[in-house]
Structure 1
């Protein structure tokens, strides 16, 4: 069936409908990963967004549920050049088309995703509509798109109750703002007992459990919208418990410490973003998914200093907090783009907990 992608600037792309047949309005973003489409679809950080995959063939190795980063798919929509109908992979359990239908994710295939990505790069991220209604009124739709503003994304994706992954080592409290499964798994594989807390949990509850360390997870949306969460993180910041934060957690910690954030023109999303460790000078290939970044132009070095920088555009990719057992990164060390270039950061977190334990 014919489908349409309509952008708020009036561009219309015509293709074939895939997945669910429902109509959706969402923020349109692009991801440059060549593989990992299932991890993208099940990453809670994409809640409130429709994802354009720049790689031209998606679905060729099917769907293997063991690779899912959460229990369900989160994007509002999915946009591809070509969708493979016959996957070839001994691990495949179903086609991506069946998965999209099952997860009620509407999408569109057969459009020029390269042209679409160039528009988003030149004009910036914008809202769009995926529809199978051939009778749409372009003026009416674009007016609706310009007035669309998503909110409440973290509340939508966080867990509903506390969950514990047993371990014999350090006790880690993981704040779930939309955490990918591999964050808890990376800690669990290192022997940690991981207690996953809903985003609404208070600092008092977390500190009362006497964790050896605290993880602040990735997640979707504008960090400045999370005012109550920032207030609780400020209390965690004042404690002496080691803290490691990723992506949205990195931004929320910065805001809690008095720093600022701003929205990027089109964000960083993909598995091929180079970041430089300023302490060693080494460059790592990282997986990223964010539309906001910490503003270091007025960063007070008495609060924090830059620890990582994006090699492509010079934006901040991590902070080390002055006089605190806190370090944060904008990218995803639990992902495997390099394939495990930055996994050492979890080991650094364990050494911080060990140092505090024997202090």
Structure 2
């Protein structure tokens, strides 16, 4: 076994049909989508077709889909413009959000003087909805709640319907970072009481550098990037045409194959959990990542019984063995600081032990998981 890629929560392998679609676009459709001649109109038509396709699967209106460079830009656009354009003065979030939300929220507190409040979490990392209700009812300020649907490190699934109902009852806006969710779970934005969402194509076997924001119609948001009328005026700049058609192709493939691929990947997760429990019985599963009902089927976060000094070599050892995984968000890979997610739910003793995130896709096999567990077991017992 030479190469095992188990870091799909960081990014995924691009589907072959997506690559073919993008190559065709790069070769044959090179007009500027804003040009009025036939070359431009061809590109513009394809972009609008992609917008309609995504909207159809989400049960949204095409005008509610705004293409961005990815989830981070979408999160920034929504949060910053909500403060600027909607009069939001109180932002309620949690301490285990992705840094695209947390750092933006902290910047808004520092520079825009918003009131930043954090909802309490239980021992597994789930938001306390009773406390959220108290925060929403605490005063008459204009509020926005930002809670991710699927946590990117421990996989916990937030009940976005319950959160959305609380927001609607109290007149608050609801934004969710759905980067780990879109392409892996079905969505109906007419049934889910949500105002804003963020997505990234590279999390569901599409290209990097492209995603979208769902912005409900008549929200009142205004452009964050000025300079042109692209993307309904929300985001100026010539569209990344080949990436948009790649996003569409990956999106359609994800949802047309969702049932079968979900069952397959969930089977891999169950198998991996069983093997970890059998072969390394002192290992712990962080958050709800070991619960198939309360966490996403795509990842497991494992705390290993290893001395802290020895643990310094763990990722290096796995890399030498050809195994790719991570100790948290890929955005933190160059940082020496502990995971901000795990620090909220683990005790001091477990925080000194190494925790790794293993995330799965349709391209993984049980044989790869057997090899990975064997390598881990050997390192633990050595």
TM-score scaled by length of structure 2: 0.28
Q: Report which of the two has the higher share of strand.
A: 1
Which has the larger Rg?
Answer: 2
Higher relative contact order (CA 8 A, sep 6+): 2
TM-score scaled by length of structure 1: 0.29
